[in-house]
Amino acid sequence: MPSPGSPAAEPGAPVVETAKGPRLVELDALRFVAAFAVMSFHFMAASRSLWDEYPTTLFAPVSRLSSLGILGVELFFLISGFVILMSVWGHTVGQFAVSRVSRLFPAYWFAVVVIFIMYRFSGVTAFDPKLSTGEYLLNLSMLQGAFGVGHAGGVFWSLWVELRFYVLIGVFALFGITLRRCLAFLGAWFALALAAELTQNDVLVFVFQPRQAPYFIAGMAFFLIHRFGPRAGWLLPWAFVAGGYAMSLYAATERVGERVRLIGLKHYPAPPENVVVAISVIFLLMAAVSLGWLRWLRWRPLMTLGALTYPLYLLHQTVSAVLIPTYRDIVDPWLLVAITMAVSIAIAYLAYRMVDRPGQRWLRARLGALVARTGGRRGAGGAPASPLPQALAAQSHEASVP
């Protein structure tokens, strides 16, 4: 068993070495799977306004699968729980904050600006959030949810969920992260999330996020299994995986069920049993990652797919708002979806190379210098903090959501 301050990736773990350190390529593959699922959901199941009819009718042969694409976000949350604990372990709270801010904001700022320009200076109407200039400016902070302001992009709600998760982890890291403390933290969070769900207390729901907490908790437990082995912590990590899975089944069936009740099972064919299967599959995939069963996924292009996942997640609805209403009457729907997906992926790649990657470097360098001057507390009890530039570089390539 490695010591609490040892590197997150053990010598036998399934990794590819990069200039920034070890990388779990299987997580890149799962990130892209999650983003593709969400994109399929939006293009072929969710958005009647894009097609002027129910898309599940147009794409009936795959409607049962595309309807479950909504749960790609839940897979992102599972991955995030795993990766965020990996990112904060052995680093100061300041380093963790720099890694998260530099990872999330460059591509996000770009997406907000693109969406603002598109709806202000073109005739595009699909998915128009109808925000004022001031509300778009507030969206740049990613804090619009705290002020009851609408999200500029349809998927931005999940970033607000992520941000609150990061704050919770940052507070936890102030006390020093060890295996024992992680187990105590997960137990406390699980109990408080359950209490929030049962009582629907506004403060508890806001802080502990009972509908998303099961995924974060299970993801963190999967990381503990990956780091310390399947028998670590008196098997308590597996207990948190099981508890997270049980709560996730409830949360997911409720979330999907709300959409089914809104438009009917005929137009959104996602019955509860299908949701149970989907959640079971994504938990099994994360279990496979934590146990090293996907170590054969060493194809280096998967790293690129993982890197472009975030801009793809942010921008794919914007691309579809332009292309699908414009060409839906003259291009076969299946071909149009394929073209829209290809264009979305191409734009995401360009955004990653030209905006996201250089933006991360620029922001990380400046914020990192600031943190280096002010210092910070460790994220792992008893472990010396890593030198700042190397520590931030090691964290930066492990994205959260997506």
Query: CA 21, CA 32: separation in Å to the nearest integer?
Result: 21
Q: How many angstroms separate the Cα of 253 from the Cα of each of 160, 213, 250?
A: 22, 15, 5
Q: Is the residue at 11 inside a domain?
A: no
Strands (E), 204-262: none
Residue for token digits 């963190």? 220
Q: For position 22, what pLDDT does the model report?
A: 58
Least confident of 244-248, 280-284, 367-371: 367-371
pLDDT at 146 over 50: yes
Question: 59 or 300, which is more confident?
Answer: 59
Q: Is the residue at 385 inside a domain?
A: no
pLDDT at 337 over 80: yes
Q: For position 170, what pLDDT does the model report?
A: 96
Q: How many angstroms separate the Cα of 28 from the Cα of each of 40, 309, 401?
A: 18, 8, 11
Q: Is the residue at 387 inside a domain?
A: no
Rg (CA), the chain: 21
Q: What is the amino acid identity at position 389?
A: P
Residue 374 binned pLDDT confidence (cut-offs 50, 70, 90) = confident
Q: Is the residue at 377 inside a domain?
A: no
Query: CA 166, CA 168: separation in Å to the nearest integer?
Result: 5
Between the CA atoms of 321, 327, 333 and 334, what dihedral angle is there, to the nearest 10 degrees?
Answer: -80
Q: Is the residue at 89 inside a domain?
A: no
Q: What is the mean pLDDT of residues 298-305?
A: 88
The rounded percent of the chain whose pLDDT value lies above 70 is 88
Residue 22 pairs in a beta bridge with 17
Residue 387 binned pLDDT confidence (cut-offs 50, 70, 90) = very low
Which residues span the domain enclosing 203?
Answer: 26-80+113-166+178-366
Q: For position 84, what pLDDT does the model report?
A: 97
pLDDT at 401 over 60: no
Residue for token digits 């332009």? 322
Least confident of 8-22, 30-44, 242-256, 320-334: 8-22
Residue 232 binned pLDDT confidence (cut-offs 50, 70, 90) = confident
**CB-side exposure of 213: number of CA atoms within 13 Å?**
25
201-220 per-position pLDDT tens digit: 999 999 999 999 999 999 99
Q: Is the residue at 99 inside a domain?
A: no
Q: For position 23, what pLDDT does the model report?
A: 74
Q: What is the mean pLDDT of residues 29-55?
A: 95
Helix (H) / strand (E) element for 195: namely: helix 179-199
Q: For position 9, what pLDDT does the model report?
A: 37
pLDDT at 163 over 90: yes
Domain count of the fold of the chain? 1
Over the chain, what is the mean pLDDT?
A: 89
Q: Is the residue at 98 inside a domain?
A: no
Q: Is the residue at 350 inside a domain?
A: yes
Residue for token digits 């998927």? 155
